């Protein structure tokens, strides 16, 4: 039934959610970052290509470190080997 208040509320929430998803997808495709300050004010800025490269490099380094930490956590290595791997991570 179209006139049911519950159905209308669900429809409004669904429409708002779809709009937010499409908006986020557009921003992600075009490299737009939305910042929120301590007062709750939102500002948007275009990500620069240099910043994007820097972030990609940082993400790669963090992924490599996570792989090493996962390997340390799951391997049945000796304490010496674990401390050597941790020191190798600190040197990076």
The answer to whether the beta carbons of residues 42 and 33 sit under 8 Å apart is no
Task: Dump pLDDT digits (tens) for 32-84.
Answer: 777 777 777 777 667 666 777 787 888 888 998 888 888 777 776 666 777 77
User: Given this model, what pLDDT does residue 76 score?
Assistant: 66
Residue 15, pLDDT above cutoff 90: yes
The Cα–Cα gap between 38 and 61 comes to 30
- Bridge partners of 34, per DSSP, are 44
Which H or E element spans position 89? helix 79-91
Whether the per-residue pLDDT at 89 is higher than 70: the answer is yes
């Amino acid at each position: 039934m179209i006139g049911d208040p519950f159905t209308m509320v669900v429809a409004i929430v669904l429409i708002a959610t779809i709009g937010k998803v499409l908006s986020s997808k557009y921003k992600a495709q075009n490299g737009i970052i939305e910042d929120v300050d301590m007062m709750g004010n939102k500002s948007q800025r275009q990500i620069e290509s240099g910043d994007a490269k820097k972030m990609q490099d940082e993400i790669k380094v963090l992924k490599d470190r996570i792989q090493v930490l996962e390997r340390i956590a799951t391997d049945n290595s000796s304490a010496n080997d674990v401390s050597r791997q941790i020191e190798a991570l600190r040197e990076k």
